[in-house]
Amino acid sequence: MAFSVVMTLDASAQTTRNEMRKDIYRTGSNYFAYPEPRQQNLTPSPKGYKPFYIFHYARHGSRYMSNNSYYETAINMLDSAKNVGLLSEKGNEVLGKLRIGYADAWHRDGDLTALGGRQHREIAQRMMKRFNTLLSQPLYVDAKSSTSRRCMLSMFNFCTELQSLNPSLDIQMDASKRDMKFVVEDLSRKPKPTPQSDALWKLAGEWFERAHDPRRLMASLLTDTSRVSLSFSGRILMEALYNVAQDLQNVPELNISLIEIFTPDELFNMWQGYNMSWLIDTGLVPGSAPYYHIIDEVVDSIVANADRVIKEGKSKLTLRFSHNSSVLPLAYFLGLKEAMGATENLSSLYKHISIDKIIPMAANIQIVFYRKNNSDDILVKFLLNENETSIPALKSDITPYYHWEDVKSHIQKVRMNL
């Protein structure tokens, strides 16, 4: 960060259309490449309290699209239009860029990109700097990742960086099916849809289709939109191009961009469609099925691990590397303000929760534990993407710090649907 402007940390402020327009890649929602933290200086801990344990739960860093079919669809359609002389100059330019992007992405579906590796190394560096008294000790580091390669490589980058900053760390990395229950979400748990959730999905589906109105875009890519063949679908092409254009922010070394083929309003509308789908899917919208319970066992393990470290009186660092579909429900489970306050009114939902603020690439939640000599009152604070955050449902006289016992009862309430 080049500037040291004092920023207000009022992240509860509602997301606005203007804010999205200023940082257009935010409209990529979960494709959004990790933004550096806004917060420069962390709030000092109450007198006598020192950090002794950090639990870090992260999403993998920037990645290639998990499936190259978007490239294939877009290239096929534009190429066949080209063969019959229907491609505009703009369309030709887009096809050329798609070919470069696809050649680079070939056989790399879902792989971590170079930027993805960098993101995790930088987060590790900042963690070391911010919690130096804790992390410069010869700590035991328990690192586990999802068995997905991009998560494993995220862990490797994070841990290698930590190790180079403190060679005395005893780091143990693993990625085993044996541990998946408490490392990642349990996708086999599917809550039953309710009449209310069905209604929400119907509305979101309609929104999504309306947002993918391809007429303007097609007119810019083709010389004559009336002559394209039946197999050519502007609607499908638009969705494919959105995904490619957004993912290109994760491969900056290619130096190609497609985001400008869309208008800011188109991007804003499509993003809203993705945003509401994610929130309904995870169960954050009132009435939607409580899908966030897919991380019940992750949450249980967080509490159990922390309690064990507290009981043993030791210091430790726990690292977990997973997916957006785990980080988002975890933010909700913990009651972090960025994940709270969703409304049933889908068209204004984005104002309350905007997932680019929660699950960009390399998204992470850090729970930092503090203790004081001769006191059993353990304090914790929460950082979402390395900015301190709060739990609106919990009162604290020392925010952003909370009493661990209070946090535990809050977690238990969510766990039990109370």
254 is an interface residue for another protein by CB under 8 A: no
One-letter amino acid identity for 197? S
One symbol per residue from 91 to 130: x for binding another protein (CB under 8 A), - otherwise; what is it? ---------------xxxx-xx-x--x-------------
- For residue 44, give the nearest of 385, 348, 328, 401 by alpha carbon: 401
Q: In angstroms, give the least distance from the CB of 12 to another protein.
A: 38
CB distance 259 to 12 below 8 Å: no
Count of CA atoms in the C-beta half-sphere (13 A) of 40: 8
Name the residue nearer to another protein (CB basis): 168 or 417.
168
Backbone angles phi, psi at 53, to 5 degrees: -155, 135
Q: Parallel, antiparallel, or unpaired: how do β-strands 387-389 and 401-403 relate?
A: unpaired
> Footprint of another protein on residues 355-414 (CB under 8 A)?
none
Segments in 4-147 forming alpha helices (H): 17-22, 69-83, 89-105, 114-130, 132-135
Pick from 147, 220, 223, 305: which binds another protein (CB under 8 A)?
A: 147
Nearer to another protein, 168 or 374 (CB): 168
Sketch the per residue contact string, 49 through 88, with another protein: x for CB under 8 A, - otherwise. Answer: ----------------------------------------
Q: Is 155 in the site for another protein (CB under 8 A)?
A: yes
Binding to another protein by residue 253, rule CB under 8 A?
A: no
Matching residue, tokens 């301190």: 388
Nearer to another protein, 151 or 270 (CB): 151
If one asks whether residue 153 binds another protein (CB under 8 A), the answer comes out as yes
Closer by beta carbon to another protein, 46 or else 138: 138
Residue 104 CB, nearest distance to another protein (Å)?
10
By CB under 8 A, name the one of 32, 52, 156, 291 that touches another protein. Answer: 156
Please name the residues in contact with 61: beta carbons below 8 A apart, sequence gap of 6 or more. Answer: 34, 112, 113, 115, 116, 117, 118, 119, 120, 150, 154, 157, 361, 362
Nearer to another protein, 138 or 392 (CB): 138
Residue 301 to residue 297: CA distance in whole angstroms: 6
Nearest approach, Cβ of 245 to another protein (angstroms)? 22
177 binds another protein per the rule CB under 8 A: yes
Instruction: Please identify which residue in the block is written with the tokens 């499936």.
Output: 67
Compute how many residues bind another protein; rule: CB under 8 A.
32
Instruction: Work out whether 164 is an interface residue with another protein (CB under 8 A).
Output: yes
- DSSP single-letter state for residue 57: E
User: How does DSSP classify residue 402?
Assistant: E
**Nearest CA-CA partner of 400 in 388, 418, 414:** 388
Residue 165 within binding range of another protein, rule CB under 8 A: yes
Q: Point out which residues bind another protein (CB under 8 A).
A: 106-109, 111-112, 114, 117, 138, 147, 149, 152-153, 155-157, 159-161, 163-165, 167-168, 171-178
